[in-house]
Amino acid sequence: MRISVIGCGYLGAVHAACMAKLGHEVVGVDVDAEKVALLASGRAPFYEPGLPELLAETMATGRLTFGTDVAAVAGARVHFVCVGTPQKRGENAADLRYVDAAVDALLPHLAPGDVVVGKSTVPVGTAEAVAARVAAVQPEAVVVWNPEFLREGFAVQDTLHPDRIVYGLPPGAAGETAGALLDEVYATPLADGTPQVVTDYATAQLVKVAANSFLATKISFINAMAELCEATGADVTQLADAIGHDARIGRRFLNAGLGFGGGCLPKDIRAFMARAGELGVDQALSFLREVDSINMRRRVRMVDLAREVCDGSIVGRKVAVLGAAFKPDSDDVRDSPALSVAAQMGLQGAHVVVTDPEAVANAAQRWPDLRYAATAEEAAAGADVVLLATEWQEYRDLDPVAFGRVVAGRRIVDGRNVLDPARWREAGWVYRALGRP
Ligand code: UDX
């Protein structure tokens, strides 16, 4: 099937390549000429494992093209809207300007029977508004809401093998026909037995923010337990293992530490609260404010721990921060807990050097005042304290003995609870962690 993808960021670029992999003929459109030029030459504009290989494979078939001219979408039967919905400046609500612009750009090119598929994470009510705008220009086109649940770092796998497929359809025959067309697009994952939920617009839009709110709550729950552990001498990693054995709770997303960041969870829970307020049900989500606060407190606690191990003051101390991305296997630094800690330490008078295997370029663009190093050893040379802020495998694998020769003072704060405290202490390190004795 001929398909268009509007917006070629973390979501759209991966979606376009995966749809081509599934056998469709795909045109990806983005307003960012630089991004398009990279994609058109078969290179990924961001770090995502497996994406470069997938781009090479699918572009060689001739089924995948990229461009900046939205007129290229003409002839496609299904148009996926994959643009970002960041947080509005100075407000909790989502900024819908990119969704609006994508729909505006699409409208003149829609033909009868076309299906516009919203994949962006939006405040509930957006699908209805988009459908009204589409109906005013092309009454025989249909809007479907089809939220995306991919995780950065696993985006290709999550798109090719999703754990569920959700359609929000308008009522009536038009909705059914659009759903059937989308079933053709997703024929391969559906044939693999992927669970499918077909529902209305409101539910489909809520599914995404409800899922992200649940995940954020799970992380903040265990981080709240970490605060209790710190007050009592208990170990939050063992606590998580023990409660995680209860299948109703489950161990995943119970990793205590510096908390969540990135382009999704923080802004999604805030936008959800803002939307609930508009709907007059703000009380229903007031717990998310606490989820957000617990999360932000972890960053403060990390700075406090660093100060504690430095005998009460970080002024003039050399600090190495391992990690800049909001999570490993990504170069995304949006709302990164690691950089937030690094910046705080810098503001409080420490000499901070940040390193990351993939995210240094992005970090330097956003936080030009921080200093950066290419490797952990370089960042830690002469350091008084090392902070592990993003759990890249190469930091988990650090040898405490060899690494100890690089630093000036063997002090480490494990912000992700991934190091073996006994090994590090044996090698002469002062080891501290969030939620562990
Ligand atoms: C998330 C959702 O998982 C995904 O389904 C949705 O489509 C987009 O938002 P992503 O932002 O890629 O995906 O990252 P995720 O793997 O969920 O991690 C989010 C943050 O939580 C990271 O900063 C991570 O370090 C942190 N985290 C995760 C924890 O602190 N503890 C955990 O146990 C798990």
- Residue-wise pLDDT for 290-331, tens only, equals 999 999 999 999 999 999 999 999 999 999 999 999 999 999
Band the pLDDT of 102: cuts 50, 70, 90. very high
Same domain membership, residue 269 and residue 121? no
Domain end position, chosen among 292, 320, 347? 292
pLDDT score of 408: 98
What predicted TM-score, i.e. pTM, was given to this entire model?
A: 0.97
| Nearest-atom index, ligand 1, CA of 261 | 23
Question: Residue 260 Cα, ligand 1 centroid: separation in angstroms?
Answer: 6
Q: Which residues line ligand 1 (CB under 6 A)?
A: 149-152, 212, 215, 219, 253-255, 257, 259-262, 264-265, 326-327
Band the pLDDT of 108: cuts 50, 70, 90. very high
Q: Give a yes or no: residue 204 inside a domain.
A: no
Domain end position, chosen among 264, 292, 320? 292
What's at 177, amino acid-wise? Answer: T
Q: Where are the beta strands (DSSP E) in 186-342?
A: 196-199, 318-322
β-partners of residue 411 are 430
Q: By three-state DSSP, how is residue 285 classified?
A: helix
Same domain membership, residue 334 and residue 245? no
Same domain membership, residue 216 and residue 194? no
Question: Residue 168 Cα, ligand 1 centroid: separation in angstroms?
Answer: 24
Same domain membership, residue 136 and residue 264? no
Same domain membership, residue 170 and residue 250? no
Percent of the chain having pLDDT more than 90?
A: 100
Same domain membership, residue 169 and residue 56? yes
- Residue-wise pLDDT for 351-397, tens only, equals 999 999 999 999 999 999 999 999 999 999 999 999 999 999 999 99
Same domain membership, residue 307 and residue 282? no
| Nearest-atom index, ligand 1, CA of 154 | 12
Question: Residue 307 Cα, ligand 1 centroid: separation in angstroms?
Answer: 28
* Close Cβ partners of 371 (under 8 Å, ≥ 6 residues apart): 351, 352, 353, 354
Q: Give a yes or no: residue 114 inside a domain.
A: yes
Active-site annotation holds for 18: no
- Cα separation, 6 vs 209, whole angstroms: 21
| H-helix segments, 33-91 | 33-40, 51-60
Rounded to an integer, the average pLDDT of 411-417 is 98
Q: Give a yes or no: residue 109 inside a domain.
A: yes
Same domain membership, residue 165 and residue 53? yes
pLDDT score of 210: 98
Q: Give a yes or no: residue 352 inside a domain.
A: yes
Band the pLDDT of 99: cuts 50, 70, 90. very high
Residue 163 CB neighbours (<10 A): 9
**CA-nearest residue, atom 13 of ligand 1:** 151
Mutating to test ligand 1, I would choose from 219, 221, 222, 340 the residue with most ligand atoms within 8 A of its C-beta, which is 219
- Residue-wise pLDDT for 119-172, tens only, equals 999 999 999 999 999 999 999 999 999 999 999 999 999 999 999 999 999 999
CATH number at 36 reads 3.40.50.720
Q: Six-digit token pair at 282?
A: 């703000």
Name the catalytic one among 18, 82, 229, 264. 264
**Tally of structural domains, the chain:** 3
Q: Cα Rg for the chain, rounded, in angstroms?
A: 23
| Nearest-atom index, ligand 1, CA of 327 | 25
| Nearest-atom index, ligand 1, CA of 330 | 12
Question: Residue 214 Cα, ligand 1 centroid: separation in angstroms?
Answer: 11
- Cα separation, 267 vs 249, whole angstroms: 25
Domain end position, chosen among 170, 199, 228? 199
- By residue range, what is the domain housing residue 99? 2-199
